[in-house]
Structure 1
Amino acid sequence: MPDWLTAILLGLIEGLTEFIPVSSTGHLLIAEKWLGHRPDWFTVFIQVGAALALLPIFWNKLMGLLIGWQKPESRDYLLKLMLAFFITGVGGVILDKLNFELPDTVGPVAWATLIGAFVIWGIEFWRKSPQGNPSVTWTIAIVCGLAQLLAAVFPGTSRSGATIMAALALGLARPAAAEFSFILGMITLTAAGGYKLLDAWKDGELHGAGALDLTLGFVAAAVSAFIVVKWLLRFVQNHNFNGFAIYRFILGVVLLVWFNN
């Protein structure tokens, strides 16, 4: 298969799975079994594409927050986003300085995917109120920041899944949880991606990078992420996440059985 086509396919997979609670890492592992392994910076680059696709979706929301920052509710929301991002960012820098390395085997990813399925089921079963509180609290912001860090340490957890389910467990309404998770993810993935790509450039890893492949992967990730997030924001108005839990369970089993053989 030509490189440009594999770049598009990997971009589509990244965009389709980054913001739904199913683990984009698990899907990319399966895809690379057929399409071949790409450098880590390629994955980072298409993640940035998926993240930036959310900017037009939340542009009015973000502009309203920034323009109206003097209003207590706008200022609080911005500060809560900053707090969650700060927690994740500081934790990520510490892990980087400690030379923390992600697992290079499929087993941990598969188990994280499976465990995540049961966590979703548990929170959906335990959650008492179907409506929830529409306002993000400081506690929710802190826990979402920690949830992002957890997802970074344990690939397969799903960043969006961890933050959305953490917010739901603390009583946040489903649409508000999805929105906060997506905006936080857009900021976090863009910042983390820029940091990693800068490191890769300094180390000379980007020399000779195929501009066509990068562009195609970036655009494919952006377009698919835009479509998925627009759909998911409507979906969460009237649906729970049990269907994603079932999908995660199946994916986790497939990863364990297939890659162990």
Structure 2
Amino acid sequence: MTDTIAAILLGILEGLTEFLPVSSTGHLILATELLGFDQSDWEIFNIAIQPAAILAIVVLYWRTFWDVAKGLFGFEKGAIAFVRNLLVAFFPAVLLGLAFGDAIETMLGNAVLVCWSLIIGGIAILAIERWANPPATGPGVGGVPLRTAILIGLVQCVAMIPGVSRSGATILGAMAFGVDRKTAAEFSFFLAVPTLSGATVYQLAKHADAITPRDLELIGIGSVVGFVTALVVVKLFVAVITRVGFAPFAWYRIAVGAAGLAWLTLR
């Protein structure tokens, strides 16, 4: 398989999984392993294509971002609360990322850890689906209490373990803290903008000397494919969780994690 085809496949996988509670990083690591590539050769690629999925959120929710921007200039309470909630939820990840960045980066090559994280995360989703009782509707991201926003930010830090899923941790964490499904999903989407942007900039700056023109070409290909895929997936995801919940994603995680462990053991 050529690098170009691999970049296209990984881009599709990124777009499909970034905002689903199944761990995009975990899937990219397992896919790279399955394709027989050296993990270290694709680490930067897997990180650098994340902004494409972020751009999909900006495009899909452009009116929300535009209204918030206008509201900030008018000192509207709702807009200020929206930005405040995202910032306080983003801050714990910044501190943890700066403090333990090297350790986190080392874990990115551990496919076995990814598999166990997928399984344990799937079980956690089933437990939260069973015991959490979020309201049917909510006040939106700006209406989430400050304390809850901080707790969501702390839960997001758990997703630095590959296979946990950033979106899964934040969405299910928010629901456990009493946030309705739709608001929890949108909070996770919007929180991805500063979180993934910051992580990408940090990693690219850290490894700038190792990036070649060919790497940039592959990143461009994967980013375009990931952007288009994410545009389709996000809207479908919101519709699915509103109607049937998260259980299908939990069972999927458990199945993929178990299959991955079996494959890694028997290969």
Q: TM-score, normalised by structure 2?
A: 0.90
Post-superposition Cα deviations, 1:98-134, rounded to whole Å, max 9, x if no partner, equal 7554323222211111111111111111023451543
Unaligned ranges ≥5, structure 2: none
2:50 alignment counterpart: 47
Deviation >6 Å, runs of 4+: none
1:118 alignment counterpart: 123
Q: Which amino acid aligns with 2:151?
A: V
| 8 Å contact kept, 1:11–1:218 | yes
- Is 1:146–2:154 an aligned residue pair? yes
Taking the aligned partners of 2:90 and 2:134, their CA distance within structure 1 comes to 28
Q: Which amino acid aligns with 1:145?
A: G
- Is 1:16–2:16 an aligned residue pair? yes
| 8 Å contact kept, 1:123–1:169 | yes
1:80 alignment counterpart: 85
Unaligned ranges ≥5, structure 1: none
- Is 1:58–2:61 an aligned residue pair? yes
Q: Which amino acid aligns with 2:106?
A: L
- Is 1:90–2:95 an aligned residue pair? yes
Taking the aligned partners of 1:168 and 1:156, their CA distance within structure 2 comes to 20
- For 1:128, what is the secondary structure of its paired residue? coil
Q: CA deviation at 1:150?
A: 1.0
Post-superposition Cα deviations, 1:54-98, rounded to whole Å, max 9, x if no partner, equal 1111211111112112121221111011111112112211113x7
Q: Which amino acid aligns with 2:194?
A: I
- Is 1:199–2:200 an aligned residue pair? no
Taking the aligned partners of 2:222 and 2:36, their CA distance within structure 1 comes to 13
Aligned residues: 257
- For 2:262, what is the secondary structure of its paired residue? helix
2:231 alignment counterpart: 226
- Is 1:34–2:35 an aligned residue pair? yes
| 8 Å contact kept, 2:155–2:173 | yes
Q: What's the % identity of the aligned pairs? A: 36
Q: Which has the higher helix share?
A: 2
Taking the aligned partners of 1:253 and 1:100, their CA distance within structure 2 comes to 23
Q: TM-score, normalised by structure 1?
A: 0.92
Post-superposition Cα deviations, 1:200-225, rounded to whole Å, max 9, x if no partner, equal 11xx1013434432211110111111
CA RMSD in angstroms comes to: 1.7
